[in-house]
Amino acid sequence: MEMSNELDRLLFFEQACKISEATYAVNPLDADNLTRWAGALLELSQFQSVPDSQKMIQDAISKLEEALSINPKKHDALWCLGNAQTAFAFMTNKEDEARPYFEKATQYFQQALDEDPGNEIFRKSLEVSAKAPEIHQEIIKHGLSQQMLGAGPSSSTSTSSSSTKTATKNKKSSDLKYDIFGWIILAVGIVTWVGFAKSQIPPSLPPPPR
């Protein structure tokens, strides 16, 4: 069931990217579309290797910055950019390299909240962003960064291993990856985001090409 859910998510956000790309070709000044496109890329980054994830997150950041150049006060784009910066920070193995991304993330979460003070998702994101550097430090300290980020999410659903010890170790690292990405990638608003994204996509989508 879990594998099926992950596959559904993968296909959904791949299709969302295609729709956003087509929309962009018609109207490159649609800030809402750019924000949806970036959000889909952030979701898809969870299914990639580290280098590919980094490229995908940077692509998302670029699209969010483009959206904000069109509408600087777009709070959902600011919030999404905070998530993207945090996600990229966790992709690094050095604290000094990750720090600027964490700092930017906090700034973007604060700006999003300033634009929409009553948004509890933005408020919660700002609160938990303060814990991100400490979590990152613990990951590095225990040497879990490569274990956690070195493979796609298929590791989180794989139960085969050569030994019980290896299986347990993989389970712990994949659980950590799930916990962190569950917060970072669109954070506490994942259900809200998916609902928002679905509302923007025509209900009668053609099936993705095989």
Exposed/middle/buried for 57, CB within 10 Å: 0-12, 13-18, 19+? buried
- Supply the pLDDT for residue 144: 53
- Supply the pLDDT for residue 113: 94
Query: b/e string for 71-92 if b means 16 or more Cβ within 10 A?
Result: eeebbbbbbbbbbbbbbbbbbb
Structure tokens that stand for 28 in this block: 């490159």
Q: How confident is the model at residue 130 (pLDDT cuts 50, 70, 90)?
A: confident
Mean local confidence (pLDDT), 150-177: 42
Considering only residues 49 and 201, tell me which one the structure prediction assigns the higher pLDDT: 49
Report how far residue 63's alpha carbon sits from residue 65's, in angstroms, rounded to the nearest whole number: 5
Is the predicted pLDDT of residue 147 greater than 80, yes or no?
Answer: no
- Residue identified by tokens 């006060």 is 73
Q: What is the pTM of this model?
A: 0.70
Q: How confident is the model at residue 13 (pLDDT cuts 50, 70, 90)?
A: confident
Mean local confidence (pLDDT), 202-206: 40
End-to-end CA distance of the chain: 21
How far out from the chain centre does Cα 116 lie?
A: 21
Is the predicted pLDDT of residue 195 greater than 60, yes or no?
Answer: no
Report how far residue 46's alpha carbon sits from residue 57's, in angstroms, rounded to the nearest whole number: 10
What pLDDT, in 10s, does the model give residues 50-109?
A: 888 889 999 999 999 999 999 999 999 999 999 999 888 888 888 888 899 999 999 999
